[in-house]
Structure 1
Amino acid sequence: MSIERGSDKHGAMRDDALAGEVEGLVRSGHSTHAEEWRDPEPSGEDQRGTGVAPDEALTGGVPDGITPDEVEQRSTLAQYLGKEVWPAAAADLRALAEERSAPDSVLAQLRRLPDGQDYENVEQVWQALGGGRESRS
């Protein structure tokens, strides 16, 4: 049995109050306030915009030159290698992944790395494994 807590920053009463404040917006898809000053401010230029409706698909997220599957595989690889290991040799990366109980798919990828090569980051490891390269504009 799992218990859903909602938020750990404030209590259930405050959660219900906050949910009530946005209920009209969530149901209608547009502002329900009579006074414009009560509307929430839109996302800033440096913030990612999101759709109001929960069923809307967000665009982006996958860089050019790499597929969604490759993004997932590279992310899984990075999860088991961490960010404190770099630079590292292939043998060190394999040992670290085994120590962190990485799945067989990650271990199999790391076994394909040539010994004697040092890597500066996950991107270099990914490219050595034949993964796609992001094209940055």
Structure 2
Amino acid sequence: MQRGSDRLSRRQDDEMKHQLQGLLRSGHPTRSEEWHDPEPMADDDPELAAGPVPGDRFETLRLELGRHLARTPFPAHRGELVRMLRERHAPDPLTELVERLPGDTTYRSVQDVALALAPA
């Protein structure tokens, strides 16, 4: 039976289902070798505060904004920035922070956006 545009053959598909069966039933990794498991979050991975950004998190905020607003045409207004963040599936806390910006201000760069979000 032809399966259309599937990447794997029926045999490979069945083999992958068999390999994942323990994980799907138990809800946690079932391998005895730890190196098979995905890596947990690192301590220094960027995280975004849900509320106003304290001074020591300014760099994290700027990096997150830069990552999600890369190749965004500047100057931009709040609405354009929010639209780009949603299109690029940015985290909700980041999008909510940008939604709080004044709508009548024009931002020339990611740095301007980060400075507007940072506490004075």
Q: Normalization by structure 1: what TM-score?
A: 0.44
What is the aligned partner in structure 1 of residue 67 from structure 2? 79
Identity of aligned residues (%): 28
Equivalent position of 1:96 in the other structure: 84
Q: How far apart are the structure 1 equivalents of 2:72 and 2:90? A: 17
Unaligned runs of 5+ in 1: 3-65, 133-137
| Compared CA separation, residues 95 and 87, structure 1 to 2 (3 A) | same
Which of 1 and 2 has higher RCO (CA within 8 Å, sep 6+)?
2
For the Cα contact (< 8 Å) 1:70–1:131, is it kept in 2?
A: no
Structure 1 or 2, whichever has the larger Rg, is 1
1:113 to 2:101 alignment: yes
Change (3 A) 1:94 1:123: same
Secondary structure at the aligned position of 2:104 is classed as: coil
For 2:74 and 2:117, locate their aligned partners in 1 and report how far apart those are by CA, in whole Å: 17
The TM-score with structure 2 as length reference comes to 0.50
Q: Which structure features the higher share of helix residues?
A: 2
Aligned residues: CA RMSD: 1.9
Give runs of ≥4 in structure 1 deviating > 6 Å. none
Match of 2:112 among 98, 117, 124: 124
